[in-house]
Structure 1
Amino acid sequence: MTDNAGVPETSAPSGRHPLRRSTDEWLDHLRVERGVSAHTLAAYRRDTGRYLAFLAERGVRRPEQVQEAHVTDFLAALRAGGPDAPPLAATSAARAVVAVRGLHRFLALEGETPSDPARAVTPPAPPRRLPKALRVDEVERLLSAASVGDTPAALRDRALLELLYGSGARVSEATALDLDDLPSTGEDPVVRLLGKGGKERIVPLGSYAADALGAWLVRGRPVLAGAGRGTAAVFVNRRGGRLSRQSAWNAIKAAARRADLADSVSPHTLRHSFATHLLDGGADIRVVQELLGHSSVTTTQIYTHVSTERMREVYAQAHPRAR
């Protein structure tokens, strides 16, 4: 009999063999000393049950008999599946390997094995999903939906979204902005962003973002900031304090609902759209890397795949022999 991972599944033996007993001790350790949830424990019990059955078929019933090859073969069996079962997805196989690695790390620390045979076996990486980018017309709908009326909150939300799309800033970078991070009157419209690892970068702002920020700073921010005790934050909430990341995300979601884009918008959507539209417009990838604050161009290259999809769409629509 096989389980849905393609790994043989056997009933529990009437007498616990040493490896089964050691596994039960590890699960008890997780429950009692580590306070692991019942849901996680149940998943680990299923995963290690598959693993022990896999080892038993190969005559391995003692902890010290397990070799690295056994662990890698188990992972391969999970991924390959069997005649009557589909292979496990990378995320499910990774969870099983995490359980096996935890078990062997425990056995090595407890002195039951001279070494950890699973230490060098890494879980399979889940497939990297391409970032979601909006079309230009969808971005315009989203930005228009950000401001409802001429209230201070509406001016703030429009300025926030214009800034995110106009600079490629992360939401956390935007909410961390202080007034000193914006240009003085008469200077070129740029913004100073503090990214991951404390890395600072200067990003130019387009006229739409600059105008929206100006309207917020002149007509909106003084009203809301007056309710607080004074803050240097560019974006403030109704109590006059710094706008939180969650509140900024709520403003984005509200605009997305009004623009009928609720299913297409995530916290990074405007950043992804910023990068994709630059590349679609012919920007050099190294320039986009600097604007996004990526330490390596490899990280930025994922957006070239998005841009390639755009090129395919254009080709399919424009070339007479495309269809």
Structure 2
Amino acid sequence: MVLQRTVAPLDARRAHIELWQRELEHRDYAARTIALRLTALASFYSYCENENLISRSPMLRVRRPRVERRSPRTSLSRGQLHDLLAAARELGPHAHGILCLLAFNGLRISEATRLDVDALDYDGLFPILHITRKGGRPGVAVLARPTEAAIIACADGRSSGPLFLTRSGTRAGQRSTQRILDRCAHHLRGHRTRITPHVLRHTWTTLAIDAGVPHDQVQHDGGWADPRMLAYYTHNRDNALRSATHSVAAYVLSAS
């Protein structure tokens, strides 16, 4: 099915949008992709309506595909993450340093790549990084000792400039980090889809919960303002070892 004519955006009606939705379905677009595109359209027409460019949004009563309120991205297992970091170490300090920060602190890639060497500081005995969160909010990332060592190796005695560098000496970004992940992915145990920086954020969230870190602490350290986002990112909830039955049974049976 192919639409035979185009319509100017401000002249579109509900029927045009529903035909376009059917065409996307016919092309085997994922339900989540279609839902996101319709959401973007709804925002656009809402803006146009508020600015009196149209009298009524054509998105009214358009039924969007129902998708699970949970990211489809998978996370790595403990063993796979260990393999990934071991492979990154072989690529040099900057590759190892940025993956340590993403894996052990769950930072967004934008938060990690904008860091300068002077971001490293100490809160008493604890090494920290002063970071800029999503939306420009200031934040602090406490570093585990292995991450501290990796960060110091990246700084390499420098007092200014980007913390993470590419091989050409420029600031590392999302593309260069993705190239590191692509090279390291071949060393992982078990077949999986492409690993992205965001997959490491999912992995950090899942492993933190598995390790028994309280949800409010995971939310704080992950930089989420809305606690509901934690459920969106968390995977492995069907793991039998995490079932509440173990804690409840032990609590009840230990009563005197």
- TM-score, with structure 1 as normaliser: 0.57
Q: Does the aligned pair in 1 maintain the 2:177–2:197 contact within 8 Å?
A: no
TM superposition shift of 1:156: 1.1
1:284 to 2:214 alignment: yes
Mapped partners of 1:119, 1:147: distance in 2: 51
1:313, distance to aligned residue in structure 2 (A):
5.7
1:233 aligns with 2:162: yes
Name the SS for the 1:201 alignment partner: strand
**Higher radius of gyration, 1 or 2:** 1
CA displacement at 1:48 relative to structure 2: 3.1
Q: Which residue of 1 aligns with 2:229?
A: 299
Residue 116, structure 1, aligned to residue 56, structure 2: yes
Query: Structure 1 residues 118 and 238, CA, compared in 2 at 3 Å: closer, same or farther?
Result: same
Partner SS, residue 229 of structure 2: helix
Aligned to 1:200: 138
Q: What residue identity is the alignment partner of 1:279?
A: I
Which residue is equivalent to 1:141? 83
The change in CA–CA distance for 1:116 and 1:212 in structure 2 (over 3 A counts) is: same
1:182 aligned partner: 120
**1:194 partner letter:** T
How far residue 29 of structure 1 moved from its aligned partner, in angstroms, is 4.0
- The Cα of 1:232 is off from its aligned counterpart by 1.6
Structure 2 Cα separation of the partners of residues 50 and 297 of structure 1? 34
Say whether the 8 Å CA contact 2:17–2:59 is kept in structure 1. no
Contact 2:75/2:206 (8 A) holds in 1? yes
2-structure distance, mates of 1:96, 1:187: 50
2:108·2:198 contact (CA, 8 Å) conserved in 1? yes
1:49, 1:271 → 2: CA distance?
Answer: 35
C-alpha separation between the residues in 1 aligned to 2:75 and 2:63? Answer: 29
- Structure 1's consecutive aligned runs of 4 or more residues displaced over 4 angstroms after TM superposition are 88-99, 184-187
Residues 85 and 100 in structure 2, CA contact (< 8 A), matched pair in contact too = yes
Other-structure match for 1:257: 186
Give the residue type in structure 2 aligned to 1:171. Answer: I
Aligned-residue offset at 1:284: 1.2
- Alpha-carbon distance change, 203 to 116 in structure 1, aligned in 2, over 3 angstroms: same
For 1:91 and 1:183, locate their aligned partners in 2 and report how far apart those are by CA, in whole Å.
42
Gaps of 5+ in 2: 23-29, 247-256
Mapped to 1, the partners of 2:194 and 2:7 lie a distance apart of: 44
Residue in structure 2 matching 1:163, options 101, 104, 107: 101
C-alpha contact 1:93 1:123 (8 A) present in aligned 2: no
TM-score by length of 2: 0.70
Cα 1:212/1:264, change in 2 over 3 Å: same
Alignment-mate amino acid for residue 105 of structure 2:
S
- Count of aligned pairs between the two proteins: 227
By how many angstroms is 1:168 displaced?
A: 0.9
The 8 Å contact of residues 91 and 125 in structure 1, kept in 2 or not, is answered as no
Give the 3 Å change call, closer, same or farther, for CA 205–124 of structure 1 in structure 2: same
Q: Provide the C-alpha distance between the structure 1 equivalents of 2:122 and 2:238, rounded to a whole number of angstroms.
A: 40
d(CA) in 2 for partners of 1:307, 1:241: 37
Q: State the one-letter code of the partner of 2:89.
A: S
**Counterparts of residues 38-57 of structure 1 (less than 5 Å):** 48=16
Contact kept, 8 Å, 2:94 with 2:154, in 1: the verdict is yes
- Tell me, yes or no, if structure 1 residue 275 matches structure 2 residue 201: no
Partner residue in 2 for 1:309: 238
SS in 1 for 2:151: helix
- The alpha-carbon distance between structure 1 residues 119 and 186, as it changes in their structure 2 partners (threshold 3 A), is closer
Name structure 1 gaps, 5 residues minimum: 4-11, 13-23, 31-43, 52-74, 79-87, 223-229, 319-323
Distance (Å, rounded) in 2 between the aligned partners of 1:236 and 1:291: 25
Q: Distance in 2 between matches of 1:93 and 1:202?
A: 35
Secondary structure of 1:308's counterpart equals: coil
